[in-house]
Amino acid sequence: MRIVDARVIVTCPGRNFVTLKIVTSDGFTGVGDATLNGRELSVASYLTEHVVPALIGRDPARIEDTWQYLYKGAYWRRGPVTMSAIAAVDTALWDIKGKVAGLPVYQLLGGRSRDGVTVYGHANAVDVDGVLSEISAYIDLGYRAVRVQTGIPGLASTYGVGKDRTFYEPADAAIATENTWSTEAYLAHIPNVFARVREEFGPALKLLHDVHHRLTPIEAARLGRSLEPYHLTWMEDPVPAELQSGFREIRRHTTTPIAVGEVFNTIWDCQELITDQLIDYIRTTVVHAGGITHLRRIFDLAALYHVRSGSHGATDLSPICMSAALHLDISIPNFGLQEYMRHTDETDEVFPHGYRYEGGYLHPSEEPGLGVDIDEELAARYPYRPAALPVNRLEDGTMHSW
């Protein structure tokens, strides 16, 4: 069996997605997500111009060898564009392998380690009363874990707080929107939010918060210490992660657990964080960290150092990525949590899938392969639309970290 066709599909059913579909000489097909939010066409071009021609004629069963070929053969290794392209190929090949074997992919990864994948939802609102209402709604849906974000008093807008409570899409304009940020206002406000949340809902609900890389290490340490009375499951992305040693400063001052990794592309981005036990959850994703093959390596390393998974699962990852993530989540021994933001109805129609939500858990498809596909005819009805993530400036106009 050989690869006879590979095509790149760009579609925008409410937001942009890039998909690779591989076809074999025996008629098997596999799909992989290649979406890189705000830079989608860069990956589409990389795949079309450089990867697809190299795939034709290759043996689809040689997943590891193909991964090494694409990673080592590029010379210019790593980076979000390269690793998202490799991820699409890798995911599609695992999909094919499962179909050839007649098994869901998680069975090829060692089978179940748990009955379901615990997910967390996003409760966000412009004020505390609004976020309390959102948390109640998630509890009514069966969620056991909720990420809490609110607007910051005095700021016109806050990343992570959307106008649509159900479907949040931060990429809101063709050219990046510029927002104003105040660290002082943020640090004064957030502990009061979690005090209200714990007062309202008690100690059992798992609570999470995303800082979105906006603090320095000592500022993050201050926030973590101020949140300790409210026992968060994690404080996410407290600082820009390029300086891995910066997390050591946070660790010295607070016991609030730390999660990071959604922008990481390889195991080298988080090696020090994991081996020095500077984090508690690693949030790397299938699509941005080189596919199932490489993400499993990251999780295996993390398991040795008591670090659990907590993969990114926002709506900029297509149902193909979510399907692949669930097959990993259900099989690894050190699973922590899985982020789950529901896609729009239009997206679900373009990407029909077999995974399902029930009572706080997601369950992977039992169909052979990943249990997900792309309706190419329907996808063609939604052409690409430029959209960029917003950026922040401090109140004096200085460009902020994110």
Active site residues: 159, 212
**Helix (H), strand (E) at residue 65:** helix 63-72
Q: What's the rounded Cα separation, in Å, for the pair 183 and 275?
A: 30
d(CA 402, CA 28): 42
Tell me the C-alpha to C-alpha distance, in Å, between residue 292 and each of 86, 152, 300, 337: 10, 37, 12, 17
DSSP assignment, residue 383?
-
| CA-based end-to-end distance of the chain | 46
Token pair 């922008």: residue: 263
Those residues with Cβ within 8 angstroms of residue 322's Cβ, 6 or more apart along the chain or in another chain: 313, 340, 353, 355, 362
Reduced to 3 states, what is the DSSP secondary structure of residue 96?
Answer: helix
Residue count of the chain, please give it: 402
How many of the other CB atoms lie within 10 Å of CB of 52?
19
How far is C-alpha 214 from the chain's CA centre?
Answer: 18
The C-alpha atoms of residue 340 and residue 262 are separated, in whole angstroms, by: 14
